[in-house]
Structure 1
Amino acid sequence: MARPRSAGSRTVAPTEPQPDPKAGPATAAAREDAGLLAAVPFACAVFAADGALRAANARYRAEFGELPEHAAREALLARLRGEARDGARPREVRAPHSGRWYALHWGRAEHAGAPADVLTAVDISERIETLASHKSRQEKLLFTSRMMSVGEMAATLAHELNQPLAAIMNYVNGSLRLVEQAGGPVQVERALQAARTQAEHASAVISRVREFVRAREPRRDAHELARIAETVLELLRLEAERLDLRIELGLPEPLPPVFADRVMVEQVLLNLVKNAIEAMREIAPERRELRIDARLNLDEQVEVRVCDRGAGLSAAEQDQLFSPFFTTKTDGLGIGLAICRSIIEYHEGRLFFEPREGGGSVFGFTLPRYEARA
């Protein structure tokens, strides 16, 4: 305890902090709030039930204070939504003036005797940069893998097949003109028209192969899954018809568009559907049933499922399913599913397998839904 000190002939007691008689409960509460918020190591703010800003720490004001909307919850979220990453939810946002990335977390609390929303904004800029760097490396490995596996051979085949296909189409067109001029049998004319259609289809397939193997940067945009599925099924239509295989599409309407590179997703779906068709070659024709389903899952991602009635996979095969160079086919390379997984993970999705009830397999993947920028 401090001793009293002398001041002339008077003895003066040591000074103790005294409450300000003019400071009411509201001022004291505000000071307490300020002290608590200052101790939070992240940008932090308290909003009343009506969305008005009630309190904030210095870091919040430094990062978001320059925004005219910083003092109104809904207006702030609407502004930040426009700064969100492409395809990402608005939980991860960028402070417009600093370029720093933040993860927003909301909580409920009581402030001044009334319910309030507490916002904390955690700086995740380093994580975002690390993910971007990892994605860049993954992208390079992905393209290397794709080019090593199919690039050179596919490009050569496409080039070599283009010329004979063009010649076939010229001969067919010439034959059609001769038949029309001579008034030949209708059956011959129909057969030639069918041949021309198939030649045009083959030419389109080759064009798609050339587009897929061509070294290019991924172009992610909004794409309708139904259009992607129709393209893939058209490419495999003849093979399905030869096997007398039934294909069902279970795509609900409306299904939100996916945020993806169309060619990449087509390649994944093509691989899964082709595998499903091959899995049913040895079963009875009446059981050859392939179904493609899609839905919006609980994570707000578009989930696609390719279901077959093949023999399924053993537990040992399931454990190695997505490993490079593992295959259940005698003439397979074992790179198809590994590449598919790389493509889906590049899109921030997941490739999965599960046994199908009643026999068979289900291969599926998820893709982020497209969200237009504000």
Structure 2
Amino acid sequence: MKRHHITHIDNESQVDRSTMAESRIELLHTSRLAAVGQLSASIAHEINQPLGAILSNADAAELMLAKADPDLDEVRMILADIRKDGLRASEVVRQVRVLAQKRQPTFIEVDLEDVSKEILQLVAPIAESRGVTISTEFCSETLRVHGDPVLLRQVLLNLFLNAMDALVDVPESQAMIKFSTTLSQLGDVEISVRDYGNGLPESQLNNVFDAFYTTKEHGLGLGLAIVRSIIEFHSGHIHAANHPDGGAVFRFTIPTADVTGVANHSTGDPV
């Protein structure tokens, strides 16, 4: 009887853990969808631009082929442009689908430079529409880590959107974000996102990663809390500071993948 009672408790514990894990995945997914929603205008631009070019090139190719002696080399060049623009639009759709999926975290070897460039491509149009200039500085070393690529995209996307929000009241000539990557003295991948805004009040520096803490009028206070939980899930660390020359900088480190492609990452849940 006693043994049966213990089994019952264990089963309940397993159900509770499963429910909590599902809730965490749902929260991560909802947060990603909210971030993607903020990029809706950017995504539409990134798709409409190549589609418009495809239509124009298709019209031009049709006119050329209607001639008695069409320039086939020119037609081939137009077709190559059509293919390039089609691939560009397809890649944007792929990136959005990856971010929108609800899925269990999966650890694989990831090149953070590739992930960073994909997110930079997504946020570039919205930065342009806000008059924000993004500069990048990639280190020459390989930035391979063992982690979940979707969660890492979510971290970078949230940090870029957060940095752009910090520049709302800044003159366009000063509205800048600097993104840089390097290897720390310990050999970890180190990434920083710095805005050239007004910085953070010193009293906020210890609270910016707390759940439900926000200075935005319509903010939920979950974005940076989720960012920190994802970084810690990857056995990393993140902190915020005011830059001596103005603005705030968010910097995080993640252990590099070892020779077997496996880092000593956390086995807990990412929230």
Corresponding residue of 2:158: 271
Is the 2:242–2:249 Cα contact (8 Å) retained in structure 1? yes
State the AA in 2 paired with 1:318.
Answer: L
Contact 1:311/1:360 (8 A) holds in 2: yes
Residue 371 of structure 1 aligns with which residue? 258
RMSD between aligned alpha carbons? Answer: 3.7
- Answer yes or no: is 1:284 the counterpart of 2:185: no
Whole-Å separation in 2 of the counterparts to 1:336 and 1:142: 14
CA shift for structure 1 position 148: 4.3
Instruction: Please list, as runs of the form range in 1=range in 2, the aligned pairs for 1:297-316 lying within 5 A after superposition.
Output: 297-316=184-203
Q: Computing the radius of gyration over CA atoms, which structure comes out larger, 1 or 2?
A: 1
Q: Is the 8 A contact 2:209 2:228 kept in 1?
A: yes
Structural mapping, 1:19-30, within 5 Å: none
Inter-partner Cα distance in structure 1 for 2:143 and 2:55: 46
Aligned position for 2:224: 337
CA contact (8 A) 1:245 1:289 kept: yes
Contact 1:341 1:350 (8 Å CA) reproduced: yes
Give the distance between the partners of 1:348 and 1:373, measured in 2 at CA.
Answer: 17
- Once the two structures are superposed, residues 200-223 of structure 1 have per-residue CA deviations (whole angstroms, 9 ceiling, x without a partner) of 756544433332332323232222
Query: In 2, Cα distance between the equivalents of 1:202 and 1:332?
Result: 31
SS in 2 for 1:327: coil
2:127 alignment partner in structure 1: 240
SS of equivalent to 2:205: helix
1:228 is aligned to 115
CA offset digits 1:201-255 (Å, max 9, x no partner): 5654443333233232323222222212211111111122234433222222124
Q: Which amino acid aligns with 1:212?
A: L
Tell me which residue corresponds to 1:44: none
Match of 1:260 in 2: 147
**Residue in structure 2 matched with residue 357 of structure 1 by the alignment:** 244
Equivalent pair of 1:146/1:213 in contact (CA under 8 Å): no
Question: In structure 2, do the counterparts of structure 1 residues 136 and 365 end up closer, same or farther at CA, with 3 Å as the change threshold?
Answer: farther
Q: Assess, with a 3 A threshold, how the Cα gap between structure 1 residues 181 and 274 changes in structure 2: closer, same or farther.
A: same
CA 1:148–1:269: 2 relative to 1, 3 Å: closer
In structure 2, what is the Cα distance between the partners aligned to 1:179 and 1:242? 30
Letter in 2 for 1:275: N
Alpha-carbon separation, structure 2, partners of 1:147 and 1:310: 29
**Contact 2:131–2:175, Cα closer than 8 Å, also in 1:** yes
TM-score (norm 1): 0.51
Work out whether residues 134 and 178 of structure 2, in 8 Å CA contact, stay in contact via their aligned partners in 1.
yes
How many residues were matched structurally? 223
Report the CA distance between 1:327 and its aligned residue. 2.1
Aligned 1:115-264 pairs, distance under 5 A: 140=22, 142-150=24-32, 169=51, 173=54, 176-182=57-63, 197=85, 204-264=91-151
Deviations 1:331-374 (A, max 9, x none): 32322111111111111111210111111001121111010229
2:269 counterpart residue number = none
Change (3 A) 1:153 1:366: closer
In 1, distance between residues paired with 2:140 and 2:32? 35
Check 1:266–1:136 CA distance in 2 against 1; reply closer, same or farther (3 A cut).
farther
